[in-house]
Chain A
Amino acid sequence: NAGVTQTPKFRVLKTGQSMTLLCAQDMNHEYMYWYRQDPGMGLRLIHYSVGEGTTAKGEVPDGYNVSRLKKQNFLLGLESAAPSQTSVYFCASSRHRTGVYEQYFGPGTRLTVT
Chain B
Amino acid sequence: AQSVSQHNHHVILSEAASLELGCNYSYGGTVNLFWYVQYPGQHLQLLLKYFSGDPLVKGIKGFEAEFIKSKFSFNLRKPSVQWSDTAEYFCAVEPQDTGRRALTFGSGTRLQVQP
In the complex, are the beta carbons of B102 and A33 less than 8 A apart? yes
Interface pair A45/B43, CB less than 8 Å apart = no
B11-19, B70-78, B79-87, B105-113 - the one binding chain A: B105-113
List the A side residues contacting B49 at CB < 8 Å.
102
Decide if the interface of chain B is mainly helix, strand, loop or mixed. Answer: loop
| Cβ-defined contact, A43 with B51, below 8 A | no
Stretch from A13-21, A66-74, A78-86, A104-112 at the B interface? A104-112
Count of chain A residues with a beta carbon within 8 Å of a chain B beta carbon: 27
Is the CB–CB distance between B102 and A102 below 8 Å? no
- Which A residues lie within 8 Å of B99 (CB)? 50
Is the CB–CB distance between B105 and A40 below 8 Å?
no
What is the number of residues of chain B that contact chain A, defined by CB distance less than 8 Å?
Answer: 25
Whether the pair A42, B101 counts as a contact (CB closer than 8 A) is no
Q: Which residues of A contact B9 (CB under 8 A)?
A: 40
B103 proximal to A (CB < 8 A): yes
A41 CB within 8 Å of chain B: yes
In the complex, what's the smallest C-beta–C-beta distance from A30 to chain B, in angstroms? 9
Q: Is the CB of A94 within 8 A of B101?
A: yes
Given A100-B51, A107-B43, A45 contacting B102 (CB threshold 8 A) = yes
User: How near does chain A come to B28, taking the closest CB pair, in angstroms?
Assistant: 19
CA distance A99 to B52 in the complex (A): 9
- Per the bound structure, the CA–CA distance linking A92 and B43 in Å amounts to 10
On whether the beta carbons of A43 and B43 are closer than 8 Å, the reply is no
The 6 closest A-B pairs by CB, nearest first: A42-B105, A105-B44, A43-B105, A42-B107, A105-B43, A107-B43
Selected A-B contacts with CB under 8 Å, 9 pairs? A31-B101, A40-B9, A40-B107, A42-B106, A45-B102, A48-B101, A58-B102, A99-B52, A100-B51
Q: A90-B44, A105-B43 are in contact. List 6 more A-B contacts (CB 8 A).
A: A31-B101, A33-B102, A40-B9, A58-B102, A99-B51, A101-B101
Hey, which bits of chain A sit against chain B, CB under 8 A? 31, 33, 35, 40-45, 48, 50, 56, 58-59, 90, 92, 94, 96, 99-103, 105-108
